Structure 1
Amino acid sequence: MRRLLSIILVVAVIFILSATNPERSEYIEWINHKTMDQSSNILEKGILSVAGKTIFDAGTSRKDYFLFSVYKTDFSEMGLGKITSIGIFNQFIALPSSKE
């Protein structure tokens, strides 16, 4: 009986993780809002509100692992470094960035 309960629990967790794996569009929206919130310059906020989603979409790659996704946004050319985030449970967790 315990084994059956354990299997049901594992299947439930896998189902919940896969159902709450956020999509790329959700990540683009999140990173755009996060960047706008961190910006103190009105001009930067204006540019991000108009073209931010397009800019972030062009520089972002996604690896989908079914239960979660890893997003990498590369802005090394602009001197901002790389942003790596994990998407899980409809949330995004930003990992420490690397500036090269």
Structure 2
Amino acid sequence: MKRFVSLFLAVVIIFVLSATNPNRSEYIDWINQKSMDQSSNLLKRGILSIAGKSIFDAGTTKSDYVVFSIYKTDFSDVGMGKMTTLGIFHEFIPLSSLDQQK
């Protein structure tokens, strides 16, 4: 009986994690909003509001592990570095920021 309960709980946990694994468009929206919030330059905010999503989409790769995702955004070509983010439970947890890897 304990094995059945343990197996059932494991299946439920895996189902909940996979159902709440955020998709790429949610990540692009999140990183664009975060960048706009951190920017104090009005011109930069305007550019991000107009073209930010396509800019971030071009520089981002996603590794999907069913129960969570790892997003890597690479802007080292423009001197901004790389950012790695964990996506789980419809939330994003930065593992490294753009500022740390300059």
- Which bracket does the TM-score occupy, shorter chain normalised? over 0.9
Between the aligned residues of both structures, percent identity stands at 63
Partner in structure 1 of residue 2 of structure 2: 2
Matched AA of 1:17: L
Structure 2 segments unaligned to the other structure (5+ residues):
none
Equivalent pairs counted in the alignment come to 100
Matched AA of 2:17: L
2:101 equivalent to 1:99: yes
Give secondary structure in 2 for the equivalent of 1:22: coil
Matched AA of 1:79: G
Matched AA of 1:9: L
Task: Map 1:10-49 onto structure 2 (within 5 A).
Answer: 10-49=10-49
Structure 2: how far apart are the matches of 1:79 and 1:25? 24
Structure 2: how far apart are the matches of 1:47 and 1:8? 49
**Is residue 79–residue 99 contact of structure 1 (8 Å, CA) maintained in 2?**
no
Alignment TM-score, normalising by the size of structure 1? 0.96
Structure 2: how far apart are the matches of 1:4 and 1:99? 46
Structure 1: how far apart are the matches of 2:78 and 2:58? 13
* Runs of 4+, deviation exceeding 3 Å: none
Structure 2: how far apart are the matches of 1:29 and 1:89? 16
**Is residue 84–residue 94 contact of structure 1 (8 Å, CA) maintained in 2?**
yes
Structure 1: how far apart are the matches of 2:26 and 2:50? 17
For 1:34-72, what per-residue CA distance to the aligned partner results, in whole angstroms no more than 9, with x for missing partners? 000000010000000000000000000001011111000
2:86 equivalent to 1:90: no
Matched AA of 1:12: V
Partner in structure 2 of residue 81 of structure 1: 81
Give the superposition deviation at 1:91: 0.5
Structure 1 segments unaligned to the other structure (5+ residues):
none
